[in-house]
Chains A and B, each alone.
Chain A
Amino acid sequence: MNVRLRAPDTIGWRIALTVGAAIIGVLGLAMLFNHLAGPTARETALLDRADDTVRMMDAASAIDRPRLARAVRIESKRAEWYPAASPVARGLALAQPPDRDSDLDSWFLTEGRQRPRVFFSSDDPLAADIQLARGRYPRAYFLAVELGDGSWVVFIATQRDWGLPQPRQIAVALGCVVLSILAASVLATYFLAKPIRQFAEDLRRIGGDPRAGPVRESGPGELRAAIAAFNALQAQVRKFVEDRTLMLAAMSHDLRTPLTKIRLRGEFIEDDDQRASLFRDVDDLQAMADSALSFFRDDYKDEDATVFDFAGLLRTITDDYGDQGQPVLYSGPDRLAFNGRPFSLRRACMNLVDNALKYGNSAELQLIHSATQLVVEISDLGPGIPLHALEQVFTPFFRLEQSRNRGTGGMGLGLTSARAVVRAHGGDIALRNRECGGLQVRVTLPLVA
């Protein structure tokens, strides 16, 4: 038979183990409690001597019994004898033992039969009824054993130190139960919650990146199954994204051949204006295909970082736009070395300047830097962006006011990919509407030595 040595690690199993552990804990505590409360070995010896005393007194004549009783000293415990006719004996004879005390089962036997015996304390109603304890023994235990002739021997012990009144005993027992259950369940839920927390942490870490690796499977079976399902889903999404990127790459690639042909044919157009606008259209088409492709492929990740002159980059952009008759101004230092990916950052900055020109008709670039970071502010004089859309404009394919778009290039990916590039450099882009009108795009990039 194939015996499974390892129990299945499931949430159900873990809960069962917890409950089991709690029960065992409670039982263990109860046993410990009983052990402390029950008779010890020394007490057992005392019970033996008490048993002897009972036999002796039973054998003695009634006249000798009071003296015998007075002579008995078992440790600090004393004995008293009550004739059958005394009220104490009558009361005891009538009393039903409060409960059978199994601890005493093996003692006080006569001819194989148990002698009637009563075990009680000063607090019991019985003690009051038979008027035994009043005054003399305010806090004591009594063990009364009936002799053959109906008289009783009563052993009296002052209450044990550990003895607690009933309510407090219950409180202690309850406390122990609650504590052991709490400890067991806290431990168990910690070990159950840990892998779930880990899973959530992993999910947060990989964020929305479909290219991130699979999450490590750990924890109980149900959670591992959930992680496996997530990994499968992620792989599916990754495959989907890859397929789509591949398709876009193929499209963008295949587009280049007809576009090249259009450009070459354009050389034979005699009308300069017509030719120039044809080339512009081709460029727009190409820019759209490229921006979509670079967005889906994150191709800034392919470019190597190098130290380059960031101020020069902004100047070059300014000059290029200036040559095309676009009002772009630069202010800032002449030189600023920065370690990053120049082509990606150039494209990101150009996207931002394009936006400023498209919606704000002009662009003012300002470069400021401290020891730890550089800031590029691109300001325009356009209508700005409504507050509710300040974050929305970063979403891919989002366009503000479709009707105002002049149809010059762009797929609504400019800001999205600009932010992706800037964030890949450890920086960020923030937008705000200027008090004096227009939008200000603030690009911050950390300067690392």
Chain B
Amino acid sequence: MPHVLVVDDEEDIRSLLTVFFRKHGHDVSIATDGQSLFAALDAQHVDIVILDVMLPGEDGFSLCRRIRATSKVPVIMLTAVADHVDRVVGLEMGADDYLVKPFDARELLARVKAVLRRTTQTGAAATGTETRPVLSFAGWRLDIARRELRSADHTLIILSSSEFDLLLVFAEHAQRVLTRDQLLDLTRGSAHEVYDRSIDVQVGRLRRKLDTDAQTPSVIRTVRGGGYMFTPAVRRG
């Protein structure tokens, strides 16, 4: 059972998140400021930290950097400021993901799952010295933290949130056949799934954005007997 540490100075948000995560099968600890945060980290094994930026005393950015200095535990930051600068600062500080208040609880759950999946797969979270996680394939660069896809000529390709999630799942399971059920399962929990759309539609949209011309075979191959395979080799960095 994954252990979540929620750091927020708002009593209500702490208790609501606690109830929500417990309901979805997580262990939850809480902390209200930097001191109790590090005390909680020392006291037990924590799989992921959900960290509010606006805290009394030392702010979330600074705390995130201090966590990174000593631990590899993944961090998702919560902020009240929908600001690009803030977002970039958070990522520079070593946060693994970033959500703007008011966020959807299911969105947060999906992000927690995605971050946990990534970090357990690679065995560790990004450390402070490491650059942000980036996946490269066939000339494309997928910046996981920034949730950005760029082409070989550095052009930014706009992806919807669910397209990004699906592409990330593909890239993390490259050259393996994934059934529709598996894909649904891996991307499930995302708030963007509320409009019952089929995986096929999503794949179609991704192909349209990734396939530059009709001659070369698609990066996402349809596998007979129900499923898709992401064909290019993926490497980190």
Contacts and interface: CB of A to CB of B under 8 A. Distances in A.
Contacts of B10: 257, 261
A319 B158 contact: no
B20 A319 contact: no
B159 A342 contact: no
Contacts of B159: 316
A308 B105 contact: no
Contacts of A346: 158
Interface string B153-169: 11111111001000000
Contacts of A306: 156
B102 A286 contact: yes
Contacts of B212: 335
A320 B195 CA distance: 10
B155 A309 contact: yes
A309 B158 contact: yes
A343 interface: yes
B105 A264 contact: yes
Contacts of A253: 80-81
Contacts of A202: none
By size class, the interface of chain B is: 35 or more
A309 B151 CA distance: 10
B82 interface: yes
Interface in A282-317: 282, 286, 290, 299, 302-304, 306-309, 312-313, 315-316
A302 B194 CA distance: 32
Of the four ranges (under 10, 10 to 19, 20 to 34, 35 or more), the interface on chain A belongs to 35 or more
Contacts of B155: 307-309, 337
Nearest to B23: A267
Contact of B195 (A263, A282, A303, A323): A323
B101 A264 contact: no
Contact of B17 (A264, A268, A304, A319): A264
B13 A302 contact: no
B102 A259 contact: yes
A261 B153 CA distance: 43
A328 to B, nearest CB: 13
A256 B160 contact: no
A205 interface: no
Contacts of A304: 84
A279 B209 CA distance: 31
A313 B158 contact: yes
Contact of A323 (B83, B158, B197): B197
A114 interface: no
A325 B19 CA distance: 33
A319 to B, nearest CB: 6
B85 interface: yes
Contacts of A319: 160, 205
Contact of A256 (B80, B84, B153): B80
Given A264-B17, A265-B16, A302-B84, A256 B157 contact: no
A260 B102 contact: yes
B208 interface: yes
A262 interface: yes
A110 interface: no
B24 to A, nearest CB: 10
Given A256-B102, A316-B160, A264 B82 contact: no
Given A303-B84, A308-B158, 17 more contacts: A253-B81, A261-B13, A264-B17, A265-B16, A282-B102, A290-B82, A302-B83, A302-B84, A306-B156, A307-B154, A308-B156, A309-B209, A312-B157, A312-B158, A315-B205, A337-B153, A346-B158
Interface of B: 10, 12-13, 16-17, 19-20, 80-85, 101-106, 151, 153-160, 163, 194-195, 197, 205, 208-209, 212
**6 shortest A-B CB distances, which residue pairs?**
A308-B156, A264-B16, A259-B102, A260-B102, A256-B101, A256-B80
Interface of A: 253, 256-257, 259-265, 267-268, 276, 279, 282, 286, 290, 299, 302-304, 306-309, 312-313, 315-316, 319-320, 323-325, 334-335, 337, 342-343, 346
